Chains A and B, each alone.
Chain A
Amino acid sequence: MDQLIEDFSLGLFFWQSLLFICLVLLLRKFAWKPILNSVSEREEGIKNALAAAEDAKKEMQNVTADSEKLLKEARAEREAMLKEAREIKDKLIADSKEQAKAEGDKMIKQAQAAIESEKKAAVADIKSQVANLSVEIAEKVIKEQLSNKDKQLKLVEDMLGDIKLN
């Protein structure tokens, strides 16, 4: 201990204190403050960047969800439109079928009516021709029969006989 106190150099102590305190003050101003500030600034920056990245990720997820929703809606809409179109198509086909059938029926009816009237006309025509032919045949038969007396009498008798029967 004596030796320690003996060895204690006041000059060195003085210079050490002076230089060390100056060094602390100088370094505080020119080194430690700027270094610590930029380090903490950088750390802050990293923290902010990470937070921003997290936000961006969340936003991205939102956007993806949105677009998925949109896609789903669009798909649903498309399906609905397709369904509607199919219905319209079916209805159109059915309508036109019905219409065609009605038209056809109408035409058939007209045709039938025309055929009927034609038939009637034809029958009337045939009737009149048959009457004429009958008259002509009768004329010819009568003419022949009247040329023979006996035959004329027989005829008259037959006719009379018919009348009686009636």
Chain B
Amino acid sequence: MRSTLLIKLLFVTSLFISNTAFASMKESEGEGEKDLKTEITEYIGHHLKDSHDFSLFSIKQEDGTKKHIGFPLPVILWDNGLKVFSSSKFHHGETVAEVDGNYYKLYHSKIYKTDASGTINYDEKHHATNEKPLDLSITKGVVMIFIVGLLMFWLFSSLAKSYAKNGSIPKGIGRFFEPIVLYIRDDIAIANIGEKRYKKYMPFLLTVFFFIWFLNMFGLTPLGVNVTGNIAVTTALAIVTFLLTNLTGTKDYWKHLFDPLGDSMPWYGKIPLYIILIPIEILGIFIKPFSLLIRLYANMQAGHIVVMSLIGLMFIFKSWIGSPLSFGLAFAISLIEILVALLQAYIFTMLSALYFGFASEEHDHAEAH
């Protein structure tokens, strides 16, 4: 793993970098308006996906080839044995990588097994039909997850240590984070789960909140990472919520699921209703986490598309009115995105707590349902 110092350095310089990335597009404007638009669309599409190298920007050179600035990441494949190599072998999808006699090609951010010349076969829908080896690469997203994980671990364990040192009084950055931790405890966990059982969910709720928040905020930096807007990441998060909800479910939770009407009706009355009700309840178990994962994914994805499109507009307008206007819009949307970053983290945490609350409730008012 790269040192965090390097990341910091890149972080600082990336402000200029994101501008130059678009500046390079502007230079290629001689090829025509349509080409610039397609290029921006492709750039956005590429940005939204995970990538196998940490590319920061690319410069179009005199001879028309692109020079990529960034660093490669390790590729880990399982294809009849573990294969580990650097993503620099792909040359950003331009060449075929040869490892142990097998040939791999990067196509639309995915690794396909090809022949030596890198032929990709397509079906009638223009989908690649080549064999896809199991790809466990350390991608850009994984790097960011790792960085955020390290950051959180460093931040909160030092906060814990400062508590131990200063006699339970927060110091420095802890003054900022403590109210948030307390808010999650008092207004999210205790409010939804209850005083008695909230404690065992706290580690997950706190971690997921800060994890999503930090990753969302990193997504707004010119580093250009879109981790929380990736369906695989939100799915993994939602699955944890799903597992926690159902594995810690109390007897009442399951009883409510399979006997939602309780004793309010004689059993022969319940049977026809339950033919409809029970499938709905069971579907609900899966719909709840599914809504979590889609909501987070869609919000972050949409935010990135809007901000990047508005930035792209600046270079398409190229007029004294249009460009400042779209700059202003992009700026305003970026500010809103900062709010959305916090809001989505809050919503995910809040709804998870709500589901945990359903799972851990022990009610003696079964008749009321």
User: Once the chains bind, are A16 and B232 in contact (CB under 8 Å)?
Assistant: yes
C-alpha gap A42/B138 in the complex (Å): 42
Q: In this complex, what residue of B is CB-closest to A30? A: B157
A17 within 8 A of B: yes
User: Once the chains bind, are B136 and A31 in contact (CB under 8 Å)?
Assistant: no
Set B153, B169, B178, B230: member contacting A9, Cβ < 8 A = B230
Interface segment out of the listed B96-104, B201-209, B255-263: B201-209
Q: In this complex, what residue of A is CB-closest to B235? A: A13
Q: In this complex, what residue of B is CB-closest to A42? A: B168
User: Once the chains bind, are B232 and A9 in contact (CB under 8 Å)?
Assistant: yes
User: Once the chains bind, are B181 and A39 in contact (CB under 8 Å)?
Assistant: yes
User: Once the chains bind, are A31 and B156 in contact (CB under 8 Å)?
Assistant: yes
Set B169, B206, B207: member contacting A42, Cβ < 8 A = B169
Interface segment out of the listed B140-148, B273-281, B307-315, B318-326: B140-148
A162 within 8 A of B: no
* Known A24-B207, A45-B168; contact A16-B233, beta-carbon cutoff 8 A: yes
A85 within 8 A of B: no
User: Once the chains bind, are A31 and B160 in contact (CB under 8 Å)?
Assistant: yes
What is the CB-to-nearest-CB distance from B230 to chain A, in angstroms, rounded to a whole number? 6
User: A35 to chain B: which residues have CB within 8 Å?
Assistant: 156, 159-160, 163, 178, 181
Residues of B within 8 A of A (CB): 49-50, 76, 110, 127, 134-139, 141-142, 145-146, 149, 152-153, 156-157, 159-161, 163-164, 168-169, 178, 181-182, 185, 199, 202-204, 206-208, 211, 230-233, 235-237, 239-240
17 contacts between A and B (CB under 8 A): A9-B50, A11-B137, A11-B142, A12-B141, A15-B145, A16-B237, A20-B145, A20-B207, A23-B211, A24-B240, A27-B156, A27-B207, A28-B203, A34-B164, A39-B163, A39-B181, A45-B168
User: Once the chains bind, are A34 and B232 in contact (CB under 8 Å)?
Assistant: no
Residues of A within 8 A of B (CB): 4, 6-17, 19-28, 30-36, 38-39, 41-42, 45
User: B141 to chain A: which residues have CB within 8 Å?
Assistant: 9, 12, 15-16
User: B136 to chain A: which residues have CB within 8 Å?
Assistant: 10-11, 14-15
User: Once the chains bind, are A17 and B178 in contact (CB under 8 Å)?
Assistant: no
Set B152, B199, B233: member contacting A23, Cβ < 8 A = B152
User: Once the chains bind, are B153 and A32 in contact (CB under 8 Å)?
Assistant: no
User: B164 to chain A: which residues have CB within 8 Å?
Assistant: 34, 38
User: A15 to chain B: which residues have CB within 8 Å?
Assistant: 136, 138-139, 141-142, 145
What is the CB-to-nearest-CB distance from A20 to chain B, in angstroms, rounded to a whole number? 6
User: B236 to chain A: which residues have CB within 8 Å?
Assistant: 13, 16-17, 20
User: B137 to chain A: which residues have CB within 8 Å?
Assistant: 11
C-alpha gap A8/B297 in the complex (Å): 12
What is the CB-to-nearest-CB distance from B218 to chain A, in angstroms, rounded to a whole number? 14
User: Once the chains bind, are A30 and B203 in contact (CB under 8 Å)?
Assistant: no
User: B204 to chain A: which residues have CB within 8 Å?
Assistant: 24
What is the CB-to-nearest-CB distance from A102 to chain B, in angstroms, rounded to a whole number? 87
User: Once the chains bind, are B181 and A20 in contact (CB under 8 Å)?
Assistant: no
C-alpha gap A10/B78 in the complex (Å): 12
User: Once the chains bind, are A10 and B211 in contact (CB under 8 Å)?
Assistant: no
Which among A16, A25, A34, A42 has the highest number of chain B CB atoms within 10 Å? Answer: A16
6 nearest A-B residue pairs (beta carbon)? A31-B156, A28-B203, A34-B160, A42-B168, A13-B232, A38-B163
* Known A23-B149, A27-B207; contact A8-B235, beta-carbon cutoff 8 A: yes
User: Once the chains bind, are B231 and A4 in contact (CB under 8 Å)?
Assistant: yes
User: A17 to chain B: which residues have CB within 8 Å?
Assistant: 236, 239-240
Other than the known A10-B135, A16-B141, A39-B182, what 5 A-B pairs have Cβ atoms closer than 8 Å?
Answer: A27-B152, A31-B160, A32-B202, A35-B163, A36-B181
What is the CB-to-nearest-CB distance from A60 to chain B, in angstroms, rounded to a whole number? 27
User: B178 to chain A: which residues have CB within 8 Å?
Assistant: 35, 39
Set B127, B168, B185, B230: member contacting A12, Cβ < 8 A = B230
What is the CB-to-nearest-CB distance from A53 to chain B, in angstroms, rounded to a whole number? 19
User: Once the chains bind, are A20 and B202 in contact (CB under 8 Å)?
Assistant: no
User: Once the chains bind, are B142 and A20 in contact (CB under 8 Å)?
Assistant: no
User: Once the chains bind, are A34 and B163 in contact (CB under 8 Å)?
Assistant: yes
C-alpha gap A83/B334 in the complex (Å): 91
User: A33 to chain B: which residues have CB within 8 Å?
Assistant: 203
User: Once the chains bind, are A19 and B142 in contact (CB under 8 Å)?
Assistant: yes
Q: In this complex, what residue of B is CB-closest to A13? A: B232
User: B182 to chain A: which residues have CB within 8 Å?
Assistant: 39
User: Once the chains bind, are A12 and B240 in contact (CB under 8 Å)?
Assistant: no
User: B208 to chain A: which residues have CB within 8 Å?
Assistant: 24
User: A39 to chain B: which residues have CB within 8 Å?
Assistant: 163, 168, 178, 181-182, 185
C-alpha gap A21/B211 in the complex (Å): 12
Q: In this complex, what residue of A is CB-closest to B169? A: A42
C-alpha gap A33/B206 in the complex (Å): 11
C-alpha gap A42/B181 in the complex (Å): 14
* Known A7-B231, A24-B203, A36-B202; contact A30-B153, beta-carbon cutoff 8 A: yes
